[in-house]
Structure 1
Amino acid sequence: MGSEETEAEHVDVLIVGGGPVGLITAYQLALTLPPPHRIKIIEKHPKSAQDQYGRAITLYPRSSEMLDQLGLAEALAQECFACRTTVSYDKDGNEVPGRGWYFMESMKDTKWDFALVLRQKYQEEIFRQALRREGVVLDAPVALVGMEIHDDVPSNGYKISATIEDGVTGAQNIVKCKYLIGADGGRSFVRRAMNISFDGTSSEDKWVRIDGVVETNMPKPRSYCAIESPTHGNVLWAALDHGGTRIGFAFTADRQKAYPEFNEEAAVKEAIASVKPFSLSFKQVDWWTIYVVGQRVARNFLVQDCVFLAGDACHTHSSGAAQGMNTGIHDAVNLGWKLSLVLRGLAIPGLLRTYEIERLPNVQKLINYDKDISRLMTMQLPHGWTGDPNADPNEILGRVMSEAATFSSGLGIYYDPDSILNTPGSHSSTANSNSVRAGQRAPDVELQKPGTFEITRLQRETPNIAKFYIAIFAGDLTQTMTSFAALSKAVDDSKVLGRSDGSSNPISWITIAANTGPSTYELLGGLPRGKVFYDAECTAHARYGVDASRGAIFVLRPDGWVATATTINGHDTVGELERYFERFLLVE
């Protein structure tokens, strides 16, 4: 044992899997964990800019917002195809309004009001570069080949012994870690090693995806398009980055009979047939695949309080609604800040259990949608369908995708109220029906900077650096100054809330006033706590449902969801906020 202890590499977190989910998780931890914390990320396949083009392509608005708060989205936007146009064609090539991907044109209330289309290989390179800037390099090809959990080691110790193997030399080494994250895909070694059930089914349906540079007479080829083919189901046509196009279609049992071997030539031939009556030719083929459609969810996303699953390792589904990578990003962002706070000794280890509590219900919602969408895309009515047995699956698909629109865009994803993180506060009793609630996304409203009156956005001023933001919507200070001043004094006296805003403080403040002034000092009657912004037109107050004559306080989680909301009432407000944070933060 002594020699193993000497030779073993010790890290705080070992991340298994170098795809987007693993890279984003690693990046968040590298960004927010100060020395001497260490993280390590491994990937069993060689990774380079020459990786195949395929796999995921689409980021929806909420994913883009979360990546923006991590400082990653601008680089993606530089390379992406920003898709704001959709179209659906029937079997005769006529446009059919309001069907297929039409919901994409209604993704509003966000700066990122488009589908960010960028193939996974380009996304991964951007994430790897960002990770390298934080001093962490992806180790590849390196595989996890064994793991053991030591129950006698306390929760803040190196509970896990992981055996890793170099894919080139075959050499094996031991890595000791406090936490291990399995972001290693649908065939996850971590999930299997921990004997976590992967519940669900695979269907008989097979789908084909093919990427390349094409020529066509389709009227709107640079769009997200659905073609209602009688032979290939609801065909996906997606304009890609770098001038490419992806075509996806159902490969029915009848059509499979014509191919003893399905190869690239066959994929091209079937793609051409799938888009009829339009013509299609390939100038080059970048990538193609054929796969079985199914839906599975891991029984647990967290086991023994130290091993996590994220992304495809804990949920797989069809690509019908283009949700795979988006859901994985939601996993990564949800987990990253919680793990950072616990490792830094700023939050109780029990906070980590909220990862599964929050993510599992949302994954189950996706699975339920995906079961219907994937069947409808193969021209089959959903299981348990009680409507017209002769209904047009394309019409029903349009309804289902419209119903799922806010979930698909991510802007409507919420976390249920609970007794830890998402707690309705005193503001809920006085809030109007338009008020943003605990567990909902915090809208990205426009604000003005003091002095310059430069326009900025709330999400830009609340980056995800594993901090909570207490946003004081101060209202019209000519009416709220008395309560605002009482609040400021009470905060100064609070050991929980009154600490200086250093890197070790998990709480930051911002004040949003429905007034402007030559200086924030004069406007607020003293030195402000944190940054101050103006909302002279009260558009931000209105979006959050705040009465400008009373004001309100919203606590924003590091990942951009609302944690709780209170009234502005001096010591009562401070007491309410202290009780909220004392549930999970470790206060000195």
Structure 2
Amino acid sequence: MSSPAVSGTVDILVVGAGPVGLLSSFLTTNLGLKVLAIDKSDGPLKLGRADAMNARTLQLLQTLQSGIFDELYPQGLICNTSSTFKDGQFASRQSKWWEALAGCEHRHFLMLGQPYVEDILDRRLQELENPVQRHTTVTRIWTSSDDTAVFATLLHNDGEEEIIQAKYLIGADGSHSFVRKALDIAFEGEGIDMTWAVIDCETETTFPNVPEIINFQVETSDVARIPREGKINRYYVHMDSRDFTTEDAIAKIERALQPHPIKFTRIEWASQFTVQERIAKQFVWKNRVFLAGDAGHVHSVNGGQGLNTGLMDAFNLSWKIYLHAQGLANDMILQSYEQERRPVAQTVIETAGKLVRATKYARGLAPGTFFADSSTECRD
């Protein structure tokens, strides 16, 4: 059977419609480029995944003057303090790091679930009359003989295939990125033998429900409580193995909060993850394909940088592609994406790795601080 002919031509094909793919699509569409965003899902995320935006993300969203910041900010919870309780007793509290931040207005996390971010970006694309093409995957990627165009075979859920020609392709399709694998780009690094449970829930407890990240440390256990929007709190629980139930994780939370009782009145979402520290060998392929977000880098949730680092990739890349597409900059502007963002990603991996290795019962090291962001589990 003959291959289908090219059915459409765009400036940018964005593979993946998590936060990074959605923001990349919104920014470049808003600049006037012809963009096609595709995703295998049926719509924006509904539950779970990343839980915080940092000062830099908030600053850049505000500068867009698109209404995105104005809608998101009131829905979130401001948090710039973390505390540690050891064996039920207060041990320490710190917020100096946030207070010392220079050059930004919002010196704090905005605790707000990833579904809120995906929902507003998805709606903005619809308002621009450029909605995400859902139920669609990529099965093949290649470039023209002179490397001036990239082609992708798309597969729709009805079994139909089509070929799209683009000037550029952004792979924002998560840690298991088809784009990265199709181009045989190495994902260098390792996994850490640590497994965490994550539970979004509503509870009743006598422990104060303050807008702080709380680290509970008791014998053979690490638990972190992350404040969230509305009545939700998130708990991260360091588990002893990958084989556990939600009830096992809850038992560790109950032990960590002693002498305060806790009752789980609603569990909104529960999952688990193992820590991975990996980075793509290259972020730019033939000046036509670019890896962004988890497709290019994954790391521990400690430090709350996963979603934020990915969104910064989108901000960095979008205007560069625009200038190149308009003939206002040469190939060096595209190469600068990797030159600027890969070192940042490497630093985040190293910093988050130090934090996770410093949790009290990780390899027997000294206690550390747990800031949370589970975006390594997400499409982006």
TM-score w.r.t. the length of structure 2 is: 0.90
Q: Distance in 2 between matches of 1:374 and 1:306?
A: 35
Q: Distance in 1 between matches of 2:96 and 2:227?
A: 15
Higher RCO (CA 8 Å, separation ≥ 6 residues): 2
Kept in 2, the 8 Å contact 1:61–1:114? The answer is yes
Kept in 1, the 8 Å contact 2:217–2:360? The answer is no
> What is the aligned counterpart of 1:164 among 143, 147, 154?
154
Q: Distance in 2 between matches of 1:237 and 1:351?
A: 42
2:309 is the counterpart of 1:327: yes
SS at match of 2:333: helix
Distance 1:106 1:243, change over 3 A: farther
In structure 2, what is the equivalent of residue 279 of structure 1? Answer: 261
Query: Greater CA deviation, 143-152 or 213-222?
Result: 213-222
Q: Distance in 2 between matches of 1:65 and 1:163?
A: 37
> What is the aligned counterpart of 1:377 among 341, 344, 359?
359
Distance 1:149 1:252, change over 3 A: same
2:130 is the counterpart of 1:136: yes
Query: Greater CA deviation, 352-361 or 52-61?
Result: 52-61
Q: Which amino acid aligns with 1:393?
A: A
2:184 is the counterpart of 1:190: no
Deviation at 1:236, TM superposition (A): 1.7
How do 1:14-413 residues align onto structure 2 when only pairs under 5 Å count? 14-33=13-32, 37-48=33-44, 51-70=45-64, 71=66, 72-98=68-94, 103-107=97-101, 109-152=103-146, 155=148, 159-167=149-157, 169-233=158-222, 235-253=223-241, 262-377=244-359, 379-380=361-362, 393-394=366-367, 397=368
Deviation at 1:109, TM superposition (A): 4.4
Measured against aligned partners, the alpha-carbon deviations of 1:257-298 in whole angstroms (never above 9, x if no partner) come to: xxxx63333333333234334322111001111111120000
Q: Which amino acid aligns with 2:113?
A: R
Query: Greater CA deviation, 353-362 or 125-134?
Result: 125-134
Q: Which amino acid aligns with 1:346?
A: L
Q: Which amino acid aligns with 1:245?
A: N
Deviation at 1:107, TM superposition (A): 4.1
Q: Which amino acid aligns with 1:201?
A: E
Kept in 1, the 8 Å contact 2:88–2:256? The answer is no
Q: Distance in 1 between matches of 2:259 and 2:361?
A: 18
Deviation at 1:307, TM superposition (A): 0.5
Kept in 2, the 8 Å contact 1:212–1:245? The answer is yes
Kept in 2, the 8 Å contact 1:212–1:286? The answer is yes
Q: Distance in 2 between matches of 1:3 and 1:318?
A: 42
TM-score w.r.t. the length of structure 1 is: 0.60
- Structure 2 residues without counterparts, runs of 5 or longer: 374-380
Measured against aligned partners, the alpha-carbon deviations of 1:90-110 in whole angstroms (never above 9, x if no partner) come to: 223224233xx7634544642
Q: Distance in 2 between matches of 1:75 and 1:30?
A: 20
Q: Which amino acid aligns with 1:163?
A: T
Deviation at 1:75, TM superposition (A): 1.4
Kept in 1, the 8 Å contact 2:199–2:235? The answer is yes
Deviation at 1:135, TM superposition (A): 2.2
Measured against aligned partners, the alpha-carbon deviations of 1:479-530 in whole angstroms (never above 9, x if no partner) come to: xxxxxxxxxxxxxxxxxxxxxxxxxxxxxxxxxxxxxxxxxxxxxxxxxxxx
Q: Which amino acid aligns with 2:176?
A: R
In structure 2, what is the equivalent of residue 505 of structure 1? Answer: none
Q: Distance in 2 between matches of 1:58 and 1:90?
A: 25
Kept in 2, the 8 Å contact 1:86–1:105? The answer is no
Kept in 1, the 8 Å contact 2:220–2:361? The answer is no
Residue-pair matches, total: 370
Measured against aligned partners, the alpha-carbon deviations of 1:285-338 in whole angstroms (never above 9, x if no partner) come to: 011111111200000000111010000001001111111001101111000110
Q: Distance in 2 between matches of 1:230 and 1:107?
A: 34
Query: Greater CA deviation, 182-191 or 345-354?
Result: 345-354
Distance 1:222 1:174, change over 3 A: same
Q: Which amino acid aligns with 1:73?
A: F
In structure 2, what is the equivalent of residue 559 of structure 1? Answer: none
Query: Greater CA deviation, 139-148 or 270-279?
Result: 270-279
Q: Distance in 2 between matches of 1:191 and 1:292?
A: 21
Q: Distance in 2 between matches of 1:208 and 1:272?
A: 14
Q: Distance in 1 between matches of 2:253 and 2:37?
A: 38
Q: Distance in 2 between matches of 1:91 and 1:106?
A: 30
